[in-house]
Amino acid sequence: MMPVTNLVVVGLAYFEVFVPPHVRPAPGEEVFVDGIQLALGGALNTASVAAALGLNVTLCLPMGHGLVDEAVTLLAQRLGITLVPLAARDNPAISLVFSDVNDRAFLTTAELDVLANVKRLPAATWVHVPGLEEAARLTAPLTLARQMGARISVSGSWSTHQLSQLAERKDGAWDLLVLNEKEAQAACGQAENAPQCLAQAAHSVLVTLGAQGVTGLLNTVPVRVPAAPTQVIDATGAGDAFCAGVIAGLMRDMAPMEAVQLGTRAAAKILTQTGGLVTNPSLFADLNRESLCKP
């Protein structure tokens, strides 16, 4: 029998180009800057943080045979992440990221509909889907995974259509839903209302509030945790890291408050860099020393 993976992450790995703030060439102009940051991100963010925290991770993602796809393959091999490719066009997900310390905006292309062809996911203790649009296309395999014993985690993304429908969900299909403050407001009117407003959509609901920390309900326990102190370089990927930290904490049998604290500390480490990808797992060595991940 094949061993059960700790965590399966299902989504797209994005090639991200970070556009320098306040630089917008006029038509016909070329502007030279000191540097343009490039990164891989999306579902690979959560997978890389979870792997750095000691979890056995499988990443299911659309892939073709382009330069970005080759880079994702090589990086996953280096980080010990198992890839399950889903046939797609070359370089299926690319984002231009416009960001500063306060917020981000994205110009994105993503072949999301490939996810609708997924019939079954690898056996896992947890399955995480980083995005409401992605989760909508994965309803059937997520239902099957839950029937087979997996716990399902979904994080929000800026989709006005999906956010407007969240409060109407009554199926309790997810074990954990993580939204940021803006997403929670769009879904429920007020972020503080999200755990009650979305109680029939997910068993546990957490809302990240940026510098104000995290609030919500985790395994029936109300939690309010301040943000871990850090110097913010870029907010991209902090929510992905938070989700990975919470899942890792729950797999370590941490109490809800402790799991959320691990999530905030994982997010704080990502905030000190550009992009949410972990290329050096030693960044999380101190978090791993505190408690060993249980299978």
Task: Render pLDDT for 55-67 as a digit per residue (tens, 0 to 9).
Answer: 999 999 999 999 9
Query: Residue 158: is its pLDDT beyond 90?
Result: no
The gap between the terminal CA atoms of the chain, to the nearest Å, is 16
pLDDT at position 193 is 93
pTM for the model: 0.92
- Weakest mean pLDDT among 72-76, 150-154, 232-236: 232-236
Token pair listed for 188: 């429920």
pLDDT, tens digit (0-9, with 9 covering 90-100), for 193-225: 999 999 999 999 999 999 899 999 999 999 999
Instruction: Please check whether residue 178 is in contact with residue 206, taking contact to mean a CB–CB distance below 8 angstroms.
Output: yes
Rounded-to-integer distance, Cα 206 and Cα 216, Å: 4
pLDDT at position 236 is 85
pLDDT at position 295 is 43
Rounded-to-integer distance, Cα 55 and Cα 48, Å: 10
What's the mean pLDDT when you consider all of the chain? 92
Beta partners for 17?
38, 96
- Going along the chain from its start, the domains and CATH numbers come out as 5-22+35-290 (3.40.1190.20)
Query: Residue 84: is its pLDDT beyond 70?
Result: yes
pLDDT at position 275 is 85
pLDDT at position 104 is 74
pLDDT band at 293, cuts 50/70/90? very low
Query: Residue 294: is its pLDDT beyond 50?
Result: no
Instruction: Please check whether residue 170 is in contact with residue 140, taking contact to mean a CB–CB distance below 8 angstroms.
Output: no
Q: How many CB atoms lie within 10 A of CB 221?
A: 13
Q: Cβ neighbours of residue 204 under 8 Å, at least 6 residues apart? A: 175, 176, 177, 216, 217, 218, 219, 220
Query: Residue 233: is its pLDDT beyond 90?
Result: no
pLDDT band at 274, cuts 50/70/90? confident
pLDDT at position 248 is 96
Pairing state between β 13-19 and 221-225:
unpaired
pLDDT, tens digit (0-9, with 9 covering 90-100), for 12-55: 999 999 898 888 889 999 999 999 989 999 999 999 999 999 99
